[in-house]
Chain A
Amino acid sequence: MEGMPMGGLLTSWFHFDSLAVLMISVVGFLGVCVLGFASRYMAGDRLRTKSLLTLGAMLLSVMAMVSADNIWILLASWMFANLFLVRVMIHNSKWQAAKAAGQLAAVTLGFGALCLAVAFLLMSQHTGLVSIQALNASDASGSQMTMALGVLLLGALTQSAIFPFHTWLLSSLNSPTPVSAIMHAGLVNGGGILLARFAPLYLEVSSLLFVIFALGFLTAVLGTLWKLMQHDVKRMLACSTMGQMGFMMVQCGLGLFPAAIAHLIWHGVFKAYLFLASGGTAQEKRFDLEYPPRLRTVVLAVVCGVVGSFVFAVASGKVWLAPDTTSVLVLVAGIAAAQVALTVLRKRPFMMLPVGLGVTSALAAMYGLSVQAVAMWLAPMNLMQPQPLHTLHIVAMAILLLAWLAMVLRRAPATGGRSQVWRRHAYVRALNASQPDPKTVTSYRPHYPRS
C-alpha cells in the first residue's frame, strides 16, 4: 500500500510526532471515559444518540487537529472541532439560555478561527510553506512573521479562555455535564497545543513570550480568585479551569512547553473527573482548616516546602534554584509542599515534623515524576527552553507566594460590624466580573424547557 497516493497525502497532511501521539492517546482516553459516562447519564434524553455522535465527531476532529502538519488541515479540524462543540453545548435548542451560551461560544471561537486563518495566510504567504514542520524549521524573523505569530496567539487565547476572552467559558455551563467535562479537559487546551505546535517559532520572539506570560499570569490570578468566590459547583470549576489555563500559558511564556503540555493533560483529566463527579458536591463536607495557623507551624511548613521544592526539582530533572524560568515551577511546587505540610503539622508541629517531611517529599517526588514523564516523552522535540529570569517573572513569583500566604494567614471574617469599604467594593467587583453573560442565565423559570 506504500506507494498509494492516499498514503502520501496522509503523511504530508499529518505528522505523528511524540506530541501528536501523546495528545491522541489522552483525547482517546478522555473520550472513552466521557462517552461511557454520557451514554448512561443521558439515558432517556431524546437527543442522546445525536449528542454522543457529535461528541465522537468532535473527538475525531481534535485528534486530526493535534496531528495535523498541514496548516489548512489544522485550521479545518480546529473549526470542525469547535463547530461540533457548539452544537453539543447547546444540546436542547428550545432552551434560550443554552442557545445564547452556544452563540457566545460560537462568536468567540469563530473569531479565534479567523485569527488562525489570517495567521496561516500570513505565514504561508511569507514563507511559501504549508507544513508546520517546515515552518518551524524556517527563519521566523521579519515583522510579517511576528505579526502572524501574534495573530495566531490571539486565536490561542480565545480557545483557552484567557482574559479578556474568558466569558464564553464562564457562560458555558448550560451544557450537559459530560460535555462540560470533555470541554474543560479537551477543547480549551487547544490554545496551549497550538502554541506548543509552533513553539520553535515563538521561542525566537521573546516579546511574544512575555505577552503570553503576562496574560497567562493575569488569567491565572483572576481565575483562581474567582474560583474561590463562586457559590455553585460548576461555575467554580469553570473559573478554576480559567485559572489553570492561565497557568498553562504562563508555562508556555516561560519557554517550558513540555511543562505546559503536562499541565494541560493532567489538569484535563483532573477536571473531567471533577465535572463528572459534581453531582456529589452537596455531600462533600468542607473541613475547617483552622486558619490562621500558629507562626511556628507556618515556619516549619515553609521548611518542608523548601525541602519539597528540592525533591520536585530533582524528580523532574531540574536544577534547584537555577536562575532561569524553571524556578517559577519550583516555587509553585514549594508552595504546594508547604501547604501539604501545613495540614499535616496542624496540631503538633514539632512532633509531626518528620511525618511532614516524609509526606511532602513523597508527594513532591510523585509530582515531579508525573511532570517528568511527559517531558521525557516530548524530549525529542526539544521544546524545553528555560529563559533567563526577568523582573516580570520575579514579580509574578512574589505575587504567587504572597497570595498564598494571604489565604493562609487571613483572619476569620469579622462578626461585629461591617467590613472595610475597600473589601466590600472589591468583593462586588470580583463577583460581577465572574458572572456569566446575562443572556445565558435562565432568569425566568418557565423559560426552561419542560422536557
Chain B
Amino acid sequence: MKPELNIEPDTPKPEINVMVDVTLRKAIEQGWQQIAPFWPLENLIAVNPLQGFEHKPIEDAWAEADHVFRNPHLPTEMQAVNRETIKWCQAFLDEGQATVPMPDRHLGFYHAWVGLAPFDRRLNVRAAGMKSWLANLPETPEAAIRKGLEYLRIQSKDRARFLGLLLTTMPGWAGYVKYRTDWAAKGRHAYPITQTDYLAVRIVITCAMWPDAHTLLSLFPREIPADTRRDAQQALDSMAIREAEYRSQLLGQLSRQSVPTQPSSPKAQLVFCIDVRSEPFRRALESTGAYQTLGFAGFFGVPVRVHNQSTGEVYDSCPVLLSPQYDVQDRPRGSDVTLQKDQAGYRWQSQFKRLYQSLKYTFSAPFALVEAMGWVNGLWMAAKTWVPAWAGRLRRRVSGALRPGVLIETCTDNIHEDDQAQVAENALRMMGLTRDFAPLVVLCGHGSTTHNNAYATALDCGACGGRHGGSNARVLANLLNRSDVRARLKANGIAIPKTTRFLAAEHNTTTDAVEVFSAEDDEAIAALKRDLETARDMNTAVRLQHLDAGHAPTVSAKRAWLRSQDWAQVRPEWGLARNAAFVVGPRALTRDLDLGGRCFLHSYEPSQDPDGQFLTTILTAPMVVAQWINCQYLFSTFDNAAYGGGSKITKNITGKIGIVQGNGSDLMTGLPLQSVYAADGQPFHEPQRLLTVVYAPRDRVDAIIKAQPVLQTLFGNGWVTLANVDPDTHTSYVLSRSLRWQPAS
C-alpha cells in the first residue's frame, strides 16, 4: 500500500538540509538554557530547579523563575497543547511500561511523531487544511520550528523568548529531555531524542491547537511584574534572617573549637560520605570508643562503572559531573562455583517473574491469572499491611532460599596498575589521611532501603550517581590493601603500616545498620561491629524523634527497620532534609559539636594542601553537588507544586522514568511533599541557602575563587554563602556578595 502522505524519510528536501539558520539555533539554545535537567527514578539526582538562572543574582533569578514557572494563569488553549504534548512524551519516552509501544521510535522523536500526527484527531485534524498541513511537515525538526514560528507569526526578536515559553510552561518533561540530551550516555539510546526534536513537536502541536499562541508573549511579558519581584524579594528577605541566625550560631561554635595538631591514636578510622546523614552517625560512633571519622565524597574518588556478574546489571557509580573511568565487577566472594550458584539463583528468580509477566502482559491469559492468583495476592496484601515486619522477614527468607546472601566483592583487575596507585593516593591526600593510620581503616559508603517507594534512589548516594556506595568503597579498600599499591604509595611519601587493614562497609541510612564487607571476623572487627550496633541504637533513637516519637529508645532500631520494610510508609527516613551547611575542615573542628544532621562534612587538612589543589576540587565538585541538593530541598519546600513532586498520595509512575500526578501532568521533578513536610502546612525542611565554611588560610581561598568562575557565580550571585575560619586565629569571616571578606559578627 502506498502511503498517501509525503512524510517518508527517503524524500529529502535538500534546500532545507543545506541551509543553516544560525540565529534560529541560537534561539533554540537560549530557550533551553532556562531548563534544569531531570534524572529518572532509576537514579534521582538532586538538581536546582533554577539551574538555568544561576548565572544571575538570586533576586533576579528567583523573580524570573516565579514569573515563568509559577504564573497561575495559562489559557485553556495552551493547556490543551500541554495535554497533547504530555501524551506524546509519555508514549515516546517510555522505558518499559507499555507492552505495545509507540511505533517507529527508532526514527527519533520528531520523525516517529511526524508519521503519527496526521492521524491524531485531538490535533484539530478536522479543521480546514490541518490534516494536510500535518501530513506535510518539513523533513527536519529545525525546519519545522521555523515553519511553526512563521505560522504563529512570531517576530524574529521574540523567537528565543517564545521558544523558551514553550519549554517553561511545562518544565518537567523538558527537563527530562534535557537529561537525555545533555547527561544520559549520548548516542547510546535506541530511541533518540534531541532538544530540537522536542521543540519541533511542541511547536507543531501549538500550531495545530492554538494558532494565536503568540498571545503567550504578552501573558508572560519580558518585563517581570513589580509584584512578582516584590514577592521574590520578600521570600529571600525572610530566608536571609534565618540564615544569618544560623550562620552566627554555627560560626560562633566553630571558632570556639580547638584543633589539636597532635593526632590521637584511634583503634579505627572510618571514612563516611559527606552526606548530612553521616554527621549524627559519626558522632554516635565516636562516643562509643576511640574512633576517628572522616568525611569524603561517597564514591571515594573512584569513578567506576559497576558490572554485576550475577544479574548482568551495569551502572555508573560516580558523581554525574564525572564520567566513569574504570569497569569493575561485583560478584559473590569465593570460587566460580559460588558465582554460578548465585547466577542460577538469579535465573530462578527471573524465571518466576517472567512467568508472571508473560501471563499479565498479553491477551486473554490475564483473565485467568487474576482468578488463579487472587487469593495469593490477597494474603500477601494483608500480611504486608498488618504484619509488615513478618512480611519483610518472609520476603528475605524466600529470596535468601534462592540466593543465599553471600559477601560481595568487587574485582578491580580492569584498573591499570599505574592508575591504581594514583587513584588511591589522590583519595588519601584529599581526605587528609596520609599518616597515623589506625590498624583498621573502614571506607563506609551508604545507601537506603525502602519498600514500594518510587523515590527510593533520592535517598541513595548522590556522589555515586544515585546508587548505593558499597562497590566504590570496596574498590578503594581493595586497592589500598594491595602490596604493589602500598609500595608505590610509600615511594610517594605515604607509608601505610603493614598492620593496617582497609575494609569496605555500607551505612544504611534508613536503618542505620552498617554492613562491613569482610570475610575475616577477628576480635578487632567484632569489636567494631559491636560499636557500630551501639551507634545504630543511639542514632535511630535521635532520628525517630522526628519520625515516630513516643517509643522507648530501646526499640528505635527495630522501628527504624520496620519503616524500611513497610509498603505503606511515605516517610521511611528524612533523607537530607534540613541540610544547611557544608563544612570543609578537620574533624577536630566539629567533633565536639552537635550539628543536628544539618551539615555536609568534608575532611580537609590545610597543612597538606599548600597549593590549594584539593580545596579547589572540594569547592568545585562536592560543594557544587551539595548546592544542587540544598536548592532542591529549598525549592521543593518553597513551592511543592512548581518545583517539587507533589503528594505521594496521588503519584503515578510514568514510563518507569518519573512521576506524574493522577491522570497525567507535567513530569513532577523535585522532591515529593512528604520528603520535606512533616504534615500538610508543616515544613520539616527549613529552606535556607547553603552556608559553606572553609577552614583554611583566607588567601588560599581567595586565590581559588579568583581562578574559578563557577565559584564567583555561586558566591557572587548569592546562591551559596562562603565563610572562613582562619586556622591560626580562629576568627571567622563571611564573603560578601561583592566577594569581599567581612568579619563575622
Q: State the A residues within 8 Å of B (CB).
A: 29, 32-33, 36-38, 40-46, 91, 95, 97-98, 101, 171, 173-177, 220, 224-225, 228-236, 240, 243-244, 247, 262-263, 265-274, 276-287, 289, 332-333, 335-336, 339-340, 342-344, 363, 366-367, 370-371, 400-401, 403-404, 406-408, 413-415, 417-425, 427-429, 431-432, 435-436, 438, 440-451
Determine whether the beta carbon of B119 is less than 8 Å from that of A429.
Answer: yes
Interface string of B13-51 (1 = CB under 8 A from A): 000000000000000000000000000011000000000
Query: A172 CA to B113 CA in the complex, in Å?
Result: 28
| Contact yes or no, B453 A370, CB < 8 A | no
For the complex with contacts A231-B654, A442-B662, A447-B74, 5 further pairs of A-B residues with Cβ separation under 8 Å are A91-B650, A232-B654, A281-B97, A425-B119, A448-B641
The reply to whether B170 and A37 form a contact with Cβ atoms under 8 Å apart is no
B399 at the interface (CB under 8 A from A): no
A140 to chain B, nearest CB (A): 30
In the bound complex, what is the Cα–Cα distance between A137 and B544 (angstroms)?
62
Residue pair B680, A418 in contact (C-beta under 8 Å): no
Name the A residues within 8 Å of B381 (CB-CB).
Answer: 33, 269, 272-273, 276
CA distance A417 to B8 in the complex (A): 8
The answer to whether A244 and B664 touch (CB under 8 A), given A233-B652, A281-B454, A427-B116, is no
B438-475 toward A: CB 8 Å interface, digit per residue (1/0)?
00000000000001111010000000000000000000
Question: What is the distance, in angstroms, from A372's C-beta to the closest C-beta of chain B?
Answer: 11
Which residue of B78, B105, B377 contacts A273 across the interface (Cβ within 8 Å)?
B377
Query: Restricting to B651-676, which residues have a CB under 8 Å from any CB of A?
Result: 651-657, 660-666, 668, 673-674
Which of A42, A176, A244, A408 interacts with B362 by CB under 8 Å? A408
Q: List 11 A-B contacts (CB under 8 A).
A: A41-B649, A43-B679, A232-B652, A263-B367, A401-B364, A417-B8, A441-B665, A443-B82, A445-B665, A449-B641, A451-B647
Cβ contacts B60-98/A at 8 Å (1 or 0 each): 000000000111101000111011001100110010111
Compute how far the CA of A363 lies from the CA of B74 in the bound complex, rounded to whole angstroms. Answer: 54
Q: Scan B625-656; emit 1 where CB is below 8 A from any A CB, else 0.
A: 00000000000000111100011111111111
Residues of B within 8 A of A38 (CB): 568
Interface flag for B369 (CB, 8 Å):
yes
**B120 within 8 A of partner (CB):** yes
Collect the chain A residues with CB atoms within 8 Å of residue B657's CB: 282
Any chain A CB within 8 A of the CB of B378?
A: yes
Known contacts A231-B90, A404-B364; A176/B655 CB under 8 A: no
Across the interface, which residues of A come within 8 angstroms of B136, CB to CB? none
Chain A residues with Cβ under 8 A from B4's Cβ? 421
Q: B260 an interface residue at 8 Å Cβ cutoff?
A: no
Q: Are B98 and A424 in contact (CB under 8 A)?
A: no
Give the distance in Å from the alpha carbon of A339 to the alpha carbon of B79 in the complex.
Answer: 43
Contact between B663 and A230 (Cβ–Cβ < 8 Å)? no
- Residues in A whose Cβ lies below 8 Å from that of B514: none
For A177, give its contact among B106, B122, B371, B649 (CB under 8 Å): B649
Among the stretches B192-200, B230-238, B349-357, B719-727, the one at the interface with A is: B349-357
Please give me the residue from chain B that is nearest to A426 by CB atom: B119
Contact yes or no, A332 B663, CB < 8 A: no
Kindly state whether residue B107 has any CB partner on chain A within 8 Å. yes
Contact A428 to B452, CB < 8 A, known contacts A282-B42, A332-B367: no
Are the CB atoms of A451 and B119 closer together than 8 Å?
Answer: no
Pairwise interchain contact B652-A276, C-beta atoms closer than 8 A: no
Contacts of B680 in A (CB 8 A): 44-46, 451
A37 to B168, CA, bound (A): 37
Q: Are B374 and A419 in contact (CB under 8 A)?
A: no
Say if the beta carbon of B368 comes within 8 Å of chain A.
yes
Would B363 and A446 count as touching, CB distance under 8 A?
A: no
